[in-house]
Amino acid sequence: MRTKTILRLLVGIAILTSCTKQPTAKRVVMIALDGISVEGYQTAKHPNVDRLAKEGVLSLATRVVMPSVTLPNWTSHLTGSGPEQHGVVGNDWTLENIKLPAVQKDNAGYYPSIFEVLKKQLPEAKTAFYYNWGPLVFPYNQDYIDEVSFLENDGYVENYQKALDFIDANKELPTCVFLYSVHTDHAGHRHGWMSPEYIQSIEEADVHIGEFLDELKAKGLYEDTHFLFVSDHGGRGNGHGGVSPTEMEVPWCIAGPGIKRGAQMTAPNNTVNTAATIAYLFQCDLPAAWIGEIAEDAFE
């Protein structure tokens, strides 16, 4: 019987033994686009994201947490927990505006993130957070993030270059990079989910994702990297936040060493599994408060 307790025990045993089959990540890059519905993903042309899917495992039925809005869901991706645990229940969350206290906090008041897990268990690890929606970084203790870069006015292309430089500069160290853009979500709000402008925003992002992947390959940093392509919610009309499948299901993809190739994920998946899977790749123990599961179905 698969349970979180058993999985955590197995992870601990694997770390302590030399005869483990558990993959060990050199680096993990999360390519994060806001507001990508499954329908939008299936409609847009994105040959570079498709490249990752062909080399890895794709889920088109990954559930997000409620409410299906931005800050609770990205926090869930990066903390292996739902709002019931991390307490980020809306986009207005700040340390000074807490409606539901987190079940666990550090001395500064933050819930444990994947960045904290890596820094505490792999002190040599390097972490980075690239974003263009101001509140996105609020739920994380930035003491555990080596590089943070914010771009205004939906800018994101410059952050792809910054991420590339950061990865190259730290290529000999365990590295975890969160590379995010909100422009796709804003296109949905302004023009409507499934509008030509929304689809175009996905396709434009894919061009820059392709350039980023090609640069990594040219520098010899592609083959030993684990990639995750993730999103936080879908949308309908000009908004989101409800419980329709269009809002509550998103694409989720993982590729890299030890991952099945060209496979569809058949097991249930949730955004809370992202951080747990990254921790597993780096052979790190999961915090007791996390509820995320390792996405076992993705591994060979």
Q: CB under 8 Å to 192, separation ≥6 — which residues?
A: 198, 237, 238
Q: Contact 300/258 with Cβ under 8 angstroms?
A: yes
Render the burial of 129-153: b for 16+ CB within 10 Å, e for the rest: bbbbbeebbbbbbeebbbbeeebee
Under CATH, to which class is 4-12+28-298 assigned? alpha beta
Least Cα distance to 94 among 77, 80, 113, 108 occurs for 108
pLDDT, residue 25, reads 85
> What are the φ/ψ torsions at residue 276 (nearest 5 degrees)?
-65, -40
CA distance 64 to 67: 8
pLDDT at residue number 19: 31
User: What is the pLDDT tens value at each position of the chain, 300 positions in all?
Assistant: 444 445 554 444 443 333 333 447 899 999 999 999 999 999 999 999 999 999 999 999 999 999 999 999 999 999 999 999 999 999 999 999 999 999 999 999 999 999 999 999 999 999 999 999 999 999 999 999 999 999 999 999 999 999 999 999 999 999 999 999 999 999 999 999 999 999 999 999 999 999 999 999 999 999 999 999 999 999 999 999 999 999 999 999 999 999 999 999 999 999 999 999 999 999 999 999 999 999 999 999
- What pLDDT was estimated at residue 8? 52
pLDDT at 265: 96
